[in-house]
Amino acid sequence: MPDKIAFLPPKKSVLDRRDIIVADLSDLLPKGCLVSEPRGLVPFETDAFIAYRNVPLAVALPETTAQVAAILKYCSRYDIPVVPRGAGTSLSGGAIPQSDAVVIGLSKLSRILDVDYANRTATVQAGVTNLNISEAVSADGYFYAPDPSSQLACTIGGNIGMNSGGAHCLKYGVTTNNLLGVKLVLFDGTIIDLGGKALDAPGLDLLGLVCGSEGQLGIVTEATVRLIAKPEGARPVLFGFQSSEEAGSCVAEIIGTGIIPVAIEFMDKPAIEICEAFAHAGYPMDVEALLIVEVEGSEAEMDAMLASIIAIAGRHGVSTIRESQSANEAALIWKGRKSAFGATGRIADYICMDGTVPLSQLSYVLRKTGEIVARHGLRVANVFHAGDGNMHPLILYNINDPEDAARAEEAGNEILKLCVDAGGCLTGEHGVGIEKRDLMLHQFAQVDLDQQMTVRAAFDPHWIMNPSKVFPLEGRPAA
Amino acid sequence: MPDKIAFLPPKKSVLDRRDIIVADLSDLLPKGCLVSEPRGLVPFETDAFIAYRNVPLAVALPETTAQVAAILKYCSRYDIPVVPRGAGTSLSGGAIPQSDAVVIGLSKLSRILDVDYANRTATVQAGVTNLNISEAVSADGYFYAPDPSSQLACTIGGNIGMNSGGAHCLKYGVTTNNLLGVKLVLFDGTIIDLGGKALDAPGLDLLGLVCGSEGQLGIVTEATVRLIAKPEGARPVLFGFQSSEEAGSCVAEIIGTGIIPVAIEFMDKPAIEICEAFAHAGYPMDVEALLIVEVEGSEAEMDAMLASIIAIAGRHGVSTIRESQSANEAALIWKGRKSAFGATGRIADYICMDGTVPLSQLSYVLRKTGEIVARHGLRVANVFHAGDGNMHPLILYNINDPEDAARAEEAGNEILKLCVDAGGCLTGEHGVGIEKRDLMLHQFAQVDLDQQMTVRAAFDPHWIMNPSKVFPLEGRPAA
């Protein structure tokens, strides 16, 4: 991959002034909040995409919104690129810096500011981790719904940047459906507030626009999110099938009928084997595809919903049905699923695709995905949010073999194009980042991208905010 | 009200060229699709807000997206204001024209283009009525969820412009939560496609931005919306209370507990009397406030949810509980509620507020609303979507008495400011339009409005799209 142009050429005017910039930024921040020594910069060279790495110019770790504003005001005045960073768990390279950029890490903004059960909201700083929100309200019977597999580490600021999802988003929606307000620092240091605790807001929905904008419209420093009351009970059930096509058509019928379980996760045989070997979750090994369907509510509600789902599964040739019999068993089932990426990483390098397709196309796209990967001489494991049509083929390859890596990238591109051509899109929850930037022209007509970029420029006229990401480097407006 | 500046001053350059503009537009449209005779223009002078009226320059009734594009291209070239119009049911004056404007009516774009049950979507032209979508899929067991009281007449294009809601949005969300894609004609005639049938989309969420943009970012000609499977059963239940405060705190506890019925509608004593006299819905007359709580699902699910709700209501002094015993009774209960505005119109003129407040503030805002209206010597009826905190005080007055009208407007303004000050916002589902435009500065800091207007200008640099609406006339950027 390194022969591809991944980043905008670094600005000589910025690189040449490095020492001055570092000194100026130091003055804007408390002691110990600016990293500029080579050794200190290493952890910020890449993120969970790992395909590229750059040493940034410096890393600012502000402690307040005012400090974020001061840094942005300074960087915009001197035309210095800025890359916001949460926990660096991006799977699309959204937080990988360019060498002339100041990384603004939000990790020190880690306080929960307000929990308001009467309005079912929590207001937190951007660096609070996803799981911390749920943990803070768990004893009182609430949780924050979107649950990326990286929820132990990833921050709410990063979740907003990527409009992150997770297994339980089928019922509760992704980040944008659970976000009520943000404090946003614009490129020039202006601080604005979007949304709030009440339903909707008049005027233009800038809040929705900011969610998923990958750090290009400003830097979120605080967020108000919706809290959900924990259900009375929850029960994951395993449904095994002798083919991926049957499992896929079963999902389509469940959703088509209008039943909305909390989650419908899909694993094919390779994924089952990888996860079971790691987590000993008790997955059936005599099936080609597995669905984890979770229902919730009272015992009566769960029984009623499960009866409908079991009837549908029967029409699609289900060969194994196993209900979890205890909280322990339920936790194990989820542990297996949520460790899929880590467990895969133990046996091979992989790139994780994030294409989304209409449910009616699920079986077709699964079959074609297998054909594409096989044609490139590689292996694939599929483990994904089937109820949302949000596919995650993991293409297994050897990162130290350049030809293998090139084949994996090419297979990935073909799979994403397949998703788009099937009426879907490039990304469900991981964002565009560096990874899918050049495929945006397959998703959109230039006229559609132009309008997006015009709106982007309304927030960041000189393109200093995370500028190498999301939009193809060619066909941009002259800045 | 007429002494207030409601509209931008008409452009002399446009008024002077009226005959040429009419002739040019005629050439762009099929025969019979341009209205320019005084008598023909009368129905387009105002909308359901009725506080203002203007004869527009002309009314174009295009039959295709290409014709919409041709008109916009022409109007933008000659700097002619454009006001899009669905069915003219706006309660905030969103479709009231200015005298130098070409109204673009979408009523002839009335075809349902595609119904796709496998993906639970329908694609319709902008002029299709809200109810028509549900009727088209009803026999197959589906419906379109947002249900404004005007759903018999209002169009999906207007719903998108105002991000409309309705009684059943508590569970299913408002328009933006049920909208998957649009075809949008930009100010210069460029046609772009936003969203589609798949979850999410990469890049900036322009779809969410367009929803609720009140015809200022472009004209939607087609929309793809989510279909919902009809529940097994639904049951509205009446809960009567001896005070509005008790009813309000009951709602807050239901939602705070995490229970999400399909609908929680609130009516105070005046509203109950007005609706009962009109619809004979069987509402209890010995209560001060009434909640209509609708639950849905299987019999077991409804019983379980109702048991929880009844227990909560008991803690808030409920004095009457009445479950509907038949489909007929259920329909009558909803008929009473949905005819509230019409029934009120039989006994008095009224203006309908649309403020939204955090649920914890419901009781407080109800009490203060009563005080404000009484201080102005007027009466109020409250009937609204309580579960969403979306209040609709109907201020009763005499439109032919200018002093009464001025008092009503002043009371309305005070109520909306009260909502904002309580942590809420100016509008839940009716939009800003003309009505709440000048209150936007109470909701937003100038810096917040500036950012909204910068984004608006990224779509419509010369402010020709519905320009007198949404943003205060002062403090706009020089166009």
pLDDT at B2 over 60: no
Contact A359 B118 (CB under 8 A): yes
Report the residue from B174, B198, B452 with minimal CB separation from A356: B198
Q: Which residues contact B33 (CB under 8 A, 6 or more apart)?
A: B60, B61, B62, B63, B67, B108
Nearest CA in chain B to A453: B204
Distance from CA of B121 to the nearest CA of A (A): 10
Residue A384 in 3-state DSSP? strand
Residues B61 and B48: their CA atoms lie apart, in Å, by 20
B140/A contact by beta carbon, under 8 A: no
CB contact under 8 A, A193 and B358: no
Contact flag A199-B118 (C-beta cutoff 8 Å): no
Domain assignment present for residue B470? The answer is: no
Measured between alpha carbons, how far is residue B358 from residues A85, A136, A336, B389 in Å? 32, 22, 39, 6
Check if B379 contacts A (Cβ < 8 Å): no
pLDDT at residue A119 is higher than 90: no
B427 neighbourhood in chain A, CB within 8 Å: 200, 202
Query: Minimal Cα distance from B360: which residue of A?
Result: A118
B209 contacts A205? CB cut-off 8 A: yes
Decide if B118 and A360 are in contact by the 8 Å CB cutoff: yes
What SS3 state is found at B356? strand
Q: Is the Cβ of A73 closer than 8 Å to some Cβ of chain B?
A: no
Q: Is the pLDDT of residue B153 over 80?
A: yes
One domain, residues A166 and A271: no
CA distance A414 to A453: 25
Name the residue with tokens 């002798």.
A242
- Report pLDDT digits (tens) over B45-78: 999 988 899 999 999 999 999 999 999 999 999 9
B2 touches chain A (CB under 8 A): no
Residue of chain A whose Cα is closest to the Cα of B190: A447
- Is residue A121 a part of any domain in this protein? yes
* 3-class SS shares of chain A: helix, strand, coil, % to 5: 40, 20, 40
Cα separation, B321 vs B273, in Å, equals 18
Is residue A279 very low, low, confident or very high in pLDDT (cuts 50, 70, 90)?
very high
Q: What was the pLDDT predicted at A299? A: 87
Query: Does residue B255 share a domain with residue B167?
Result: no
In this prediction, residue A479 carries a pLDDT of 52
Give me the residue from A197, A209, A428 closest to B209, CB to CB.
A209
Asked which of A19-23, B195-199, B291-295 is least confident by mean pLDDT, the reply is: B195-199
Q: How confident is the model at residue B299 (pLDDT cuts 50, 70, 90)?
A: confident
Last residue of a domain, one of A395, A421, A447: A421
Q: Does B192 touch chain A (CB under 8 A)?
A: yes
CA distances from B353 to A221, B1, B161, B369, B382 (A): 33, 16, 18, 11, 10
| Together in a domain, A198 and A122 | yes
Could you count the other beta carbons within 10 Å of the beta carbon of residue B270?
Answer: 17
Cβ of residue A139 closer than 8 Å to a chain B Cβ: no
Based on the fold, state whether residues A213 and A134 are members of the same structural domain: yes
Residue of A nearest to B419 (CA): A198
Can you say whether the dihedral through the CA atoms of A220, A223, A226, A228 is positive or negative?
A: positive
Distance CA A296, CA A260 (A): 10
Q: What is the pLDDT of residues A403-441, one digit of tens each?
A: 999 999 999 999 999 999 999 999 989 999 999 999 999
Residue reference for tokens 């460790």: A339
Q: Distance from CA of residue A393 to its chain's centroid?
A: 15
pLDDT 10s digits, B26-52: 999 999 999 999 999 999 999 998 889
**According to the model, what pLDDT value does residue A4 have?**
62
CA distances from A339 to A149, A271, A292 (A): 8, 11, 14
pLDDT at B425: 93
Averaged pLDDT, B11-17: 97
Closest chain B C-alpha to A263 CA, distance in angstroms = 15
Residue environment code for B68-106, b if the CB has 16+ CB neighbours within 10 A, otherwise e: bbbbbbbbbeeebbbbbbbbbbbbbbbbbbbbbbbbbbb
Which pLDDT belongs to residue A478?
Answer: 66
- Which residues of B fall within a CB distance of 8 Å from A118? 252, 256, 358-360
Determine the pLDDT at residue A311. 96
Tell me, what DSSP letter sits at residue A64?
S
Nearest to B390 among A199, A301, A425 (CB): A199
**Yes or no, beta carbons of A445 and B192 under 8 Å apart:** yes
Of A207, A229, A251, which residue constitutes the final position of a domain?
A: A229
> Does residue A475 sit within a domain?
no
User: How distant, in Å, are the alpha carbons of A197, A224, A230, B310 from that of A120?
Assistant: 9, 10, 12, 21
- The CA distance from A204 to B466, in Å, is 14
Q: What's the rounded Cα separation, in Å, for the pair A358 and A193?
A: 35
Note the pLDDT of residue A280.
94
Q: Does B117 touch chain A (CB under 8 A)?
A: yes
Q: What residues of B are in contact with residue A471 (Cβ under 8 Å)?
A: 203
The identity of residue A55, as a single letter, is V
Q: What pLDDT is attached to residue B406? A: 93
Highest averaged pLDDT of the listed ranges A31-35, B353-357, B423-427: A31-35
Nearest one of B445, B128, B89, B144 to A203, comparing CA atoms:
B445
Q: Which residues of A touch B298 (CB under 8 A)?
A: 304
- The tokens of A55 are what? 């040493």
HSE of B237, CA atoms in CB hemisphere, 13 A: 20
Q: CB pairs under 8 A, 24+ apart, for A129-136? A: A129/A87, A129/A153, A129/A154, A129/A155, A129/A156, A130/A154, A130/A155, A130/A156, A130/A159, A130/A164, A133/A225, A136/A112
Taking only Cα atoms into account, the Rg of chain B, rounded to an integer number of angstroms, comes to 22
**Per-residue pLDDT reduced to its tens digit, A315-367:** 999 999 999 889 999 999 999 998 898 899 999 999 999 999 998 899 999 99
Cα B26 to Cα B20: distance, rounded to the nearest angstrom: 10
Does residue A358 share a domain with residue A328?
no
Provide mean pLDDT across the span A109-114: 98
The CATH code of the domain that includes B300 is 3.30.70.2190
Euclidean distance between CA atoms B188 and B211, whole angstroms: 19
Domain range for residue B417? 348-421
Q: Do B336 and B266 have their domain in common?
A: yes
Residue B196 has pLDDT above 60, yes or no: yes
ipTM of the complex: 0.86
Q: In A, which residues are within 8 Å of B199 by CB distance?
A: 174, 356, 388-390, 425, 428
State the Cα–Cα distance between residues A264 and B274, nearest whole angstrom. Answer: 47
Mean pLDDT of A247-263: 90
Asked if the C-beta of A117 comes within 8 angstroms of chain B's C-beta atoms, the answer is: yes
The CATH number covering residue A22 comes to 3.30.43.10
B301 pLDDT band (50/70/90 cuts)?
Answer: confident
The tokens describing B397, both together, are 């007055």
Q: B64 with B156, same domain? A: no
CATH number of B165's domain: 3.30.465.10
Tell me whether A171 touches chain B (CB under 8 Å): no
Statement to judge: residues B219 and B302 lie in one domain: no
Contact with chain B for residue A388, Cβ under 8 A: yes
CB < 8 Å to A449, chain B: 203
Q: What is the full DSSP assignment across B240-253? A: EESSHHHHHHHHHH
Q: Which of A190, A451, A185, A191 is nearest to B461 (CA)?
A: A451
Strand partners, B104: B60, B84
Residue A437 lies in a domain: no
**Closest residue in B to A200 (Cα–Cα):** B428
pLDDT digits (tens, 9 = 90+) for B239-274: 999 999 999 999 989 988 888 899 999 999 999 999
Compute the distance between CA of residue B361 and CA of residue B386 in angstroms, rounded to an integer: 11
Q: Smallest Cα–Cα separation from A227: which of A297, A363, A136?
A: A136
Do A193 and B445 lie within an 8 Å CB cutoff?
Answer: yes
- Report the residue of chain B nearest A435, measured CA to CA: B202
How do residues A198-246 score in pLDDT, each as one tens digit? 766 788 999 999 999 999 999 999 999 999 999 989 999 999 999 999 9
Dist. CA B335–CA A335, nearest whole Å: 50
Query: In this prediction, what percent of chain B has a pLDDT beyond 70?
Result: 98
Last residue of a domain, one of B301, B319, B340: B340
DSSP per position, A410-466: HHHHHHHHHHHHTT-BS-SSS--TTTTGGGHHHHS-HHHHHHHHHHHHHH-TT--BS
Structural domain contains residue B45: yes
pLDDT of A468 > 60? The answer is: yes
Q: Which residue of B177, B360, B451 is in closest CB contact with A118?
A: B360
pLDDT of residue A2: 42
Instruction: Provide mean pLDDT across the span B88-95.
Output: 95
Q: Is residue B349's pLDDT more than 80?
A: yes
Q: Which residues, in sequence order, are bridge partners of residue B59?
A: B35, B103
For residue B446, tell me if it sits in a domain.
Answer: no
Rounded Cα gap, residues A466 and A473, in angstroms: 12
Q: Is residue B389 part of a domain?
A: yes
- Is B121 in the same domain as B205? yes
**Does the pLDDT value for residue A3 go beyond 80?**
no
Question: Mean pLDDT of all residues in chain A?
Answer: 94
Contact A399, A368 (CB under 8 A): no
Separation CA A191–CA A86 (nearest Å): 19
Interface contact flag, B455 A206, Cβ < 8 Å: yes
Joined tokens for residue A301: 């509600």
- Residue B390's CATH number: 3.30.70.2740
Contact A203 B298 (CB under 8 A): no
d(CA B29, CA B395): 43
Best probe of the A interface among B308, B364, B451, by most A CBs < 10 A, is: B451
Q: A382-412: b or e for each residue (b if 16 or more CB lie within 10 Å)?
A: bbbbbbbbbbbbbbbbeeeeeebbebbbebb
Interchain contact, B204 vs A213, CB within 8 Å:
yes
Residues B243, B208: one domain?
no
Alpha-carbon dihedral of residues B337, B343, B344, B347, nearest 10 degrees? -150
Mutate to test the interface with B, among A186, A205, A427 (most CBs of B within 10 A): A205
Q: List, for residues A36-81, the tens digit of each pLDDT value.
A: 999 999 999 999 988 899 999 999 999 999 999 999 999 999 999 9
Determine the length of chain B.
479
Q: Which of A304, A170, A312, A293 is nearest to B302 (CA)?
A: A304
The pLDDT, as a whole number, for residue A108 is 98
A-chain residues within 8 Å CB-CB of B122?
A: none
How many residues make up chain A in this entry?
A: 479
Quick one: A225 and A237 in the same domain? no
For A196, the closest of B256, B423, B431 (CB atoms) is B423
Domain presence at residue A87: yes
Could you report the per-residue pLDDT of B364-409, keeping only the tens digit for each?
999 999 999 999 999 999 999 999 899 999 999 998 999 999 999 9
Reported as a pLDDT band with limits 50, 70 and 90, residue A30 is very high
pLDDT of residue A1: 43
User: Domain check: are B121 and B220 in the same one?
Assistant: yes
If one counts the domains in chain A, the total is 4
Tell me the sheet residues that pair with B296.
Answer: B234
Instruction: Write the CB contacts of A401 (distance below 8 Å, at least 6 apart in sequence).
Output: none
Residue closest to B78 by CA, chosen among B30, B33, B34, B18 = B18
